Structure 1
Amino acid sequence: MADHSPAEQPASTGAGPWLERRYYIDLVRPRCSPTQLMAQVQADVPHFSPGLLADFTKQAGADQYALRVGDEFSIKILGPWNGSVRVTQVGRSSFEFITLEGHPEAGRIRFEAHYLDERPDTLRFEICSRARSRDGVVAFAYDTIGGGRLMQEATWVEFCRRVAAVAGGQALADVVVETVRHTPGGATTQQRDQW
């Protein structure tokens, strides 16, 4: 039987600037440990995503409520942005997706929970993406017009907030978004926003 899964779409196949984006929230004295929290997220990724912006549906994978390397999700994204991702890594406190052919982005996104070294009573949940736009048209819509970027940011900020609600504890601040932009010419810019 032939494998009909879409091909992986790494950042090297994309267009436009290469972006490293980090979305995180820090929680003092959470009700659960990083591994307990990540077990809940891995068991039901769609629950944490705002369905109106990015509706995750597991398309490939033996267990609906467990995350395994090779599992695939289709994502119905508001607007003309639908795509799919494949799980490439699963650990006790993290997991990672790679985008698949046809996704608006080309790259990887990692979800992780850990205690802060300087504050051992504080848990950080973070989402880190390293990606480029799939092609020049998406790069224009995402970067120049900005609609895709704002929608993506709203999706991952809400994902972090939903994870924080499950973790409990006191948030030190709202979700922080950090962006490092690497242009094809070699220039790098950084931006930090707080929702």
Structure 2
Amino acid sequence: MPRRLLPSRPPTSRLRRGWGAGILAVRHLRTLPITERHRSEGNATDLPAPWPLALVDRSTKTIADGFGPLYHRTFTVRAVAATCDAAGLIEMICGDLDRAVPPHVVTFARERGEPEAMHVGDEYRVYMPAPWDGPVRVLARTGDRFRFGTLDGHLEAGVIEFRAADAGQGVVDFTIEAWSRAGDRAAEIVYRRLAIGREVQAALWLQFCLGAARLTGGRREGSVCDVTRRVPASELRS
């Protein structure tokens, strides 16, 4: 299907972006007490799998196109007393990505693909409460996971995977794993040196984890785990 000239949902206005940023900030502060955060130095073993060659073109923005260190981040939550399994959860999310995020904060607008479905090669634009949007392409879609890769215009260069796993009767583990670098030299200042980009990313994906736990029909058990491994740029060149 050819790329649409306009997304299926309109971009957020400046007023709505400002309002959304406030909501996300408040939600993030409320989430911190139930978040377990770990930070460590990474190495070349933290690199993601390469893009499928069939999905690489002039608009793609891979890890090699980024600047500065790579941040390998994993966000995990466990839901208990769930009324759906891991595959059912992923199916729900793929049908409408907005179901897992706070309303009026983030919008996943489809720019390529069929409504209420997700297939490899589909494209979305993530409208966030920030002065940038995030165009992405679907790199993988299976029964228990899907993966996005960044496109030109994204603040970051990298990939992100969403997956779920059954951990027992009525127990579902949901994980978001991201590998990202600053998309350009200007973004490196915001993303790495000021850490603004990384905190916006953390706030968004922590809220997504909580939303996924609610979608199971169960309840969160324990903390939301946020693990970050920083890989120096020198490791990426070796």
The worse-fitting range, judged by mean Cα deviation, of 5-14 and 159-168 is 5-14
Q: Residue in 1 aligned with 2:79?
A: 27
Q: 1:16 aligns with which of 55, 68, 83?
A: 68
Separation in structure 1 between the aligned mates of residue 160 and residue 83 of structure 2, nearest angstrom: 26
Do the aligned partners of 2:100 and 2:215 also contact (CA within 8 Å) in 1? Answer: no
1:129 alignment partner, one of 161, 178, 189:
178
- What TM-score, normalized to structure 1? 0.85
Match of 2:115 among 64, 68, 92: 64
Mapping 1:1-195, distance limit 5 Å: 7-61=59-113, 63-116=114-167, 122-186=171-235
Q: Structure 1 residue 74: deviation in Å?
A: 1.0
Distance 1:101 1:51 in 2: 26
- Equivalence for 2:39: none
Unaligned runs of 5+ in 2: 5-56
What is the RMSD of the two structures over their aligned residues, measured on CA atoms?
2.2
SS of aligned partner of 1:173: strand
- What is the CA distance between 1:144 and its match in structure 2? 1.4
- Asked if the contact 1:28/1:172 (under 8 Å) is kept, the reply is yes
Amino acid at match of 1:84: P
Cα contact 1:109–1:130 (8 A) shared by 2: yes
Alignment deviations for residues 58-104 of structure 1 (CA, whole Å, 9 cap, x no partner): 0110x210001111111222222212001111100100100001101
Instruction: Give the deviation of 1:53 after TM superposition.
Output: 4.1
User: Please, what TM-score do these two structures have when normalized by structure 2?
Assistant: 0.71
In the alignment, the residues of structure 2 paired with residue 38 and residue 52 of structure 1 have an alpha-carbon distance, to the nearest angstrom, of 22
Q: From the two aligned structures, give the one with the greater helix fraction.
A: 2
Among the aligned pairs, what percent are the same residue?
Answer: 28
SS in 2 for 1:64: coil
* 4+ residue runs over 4 A deviation: 2-6
Instruction: Give the drift of 1:49.
Output: 2.6
Cα distance between partner residues in 2 of 1:32 and 1:121 = 7
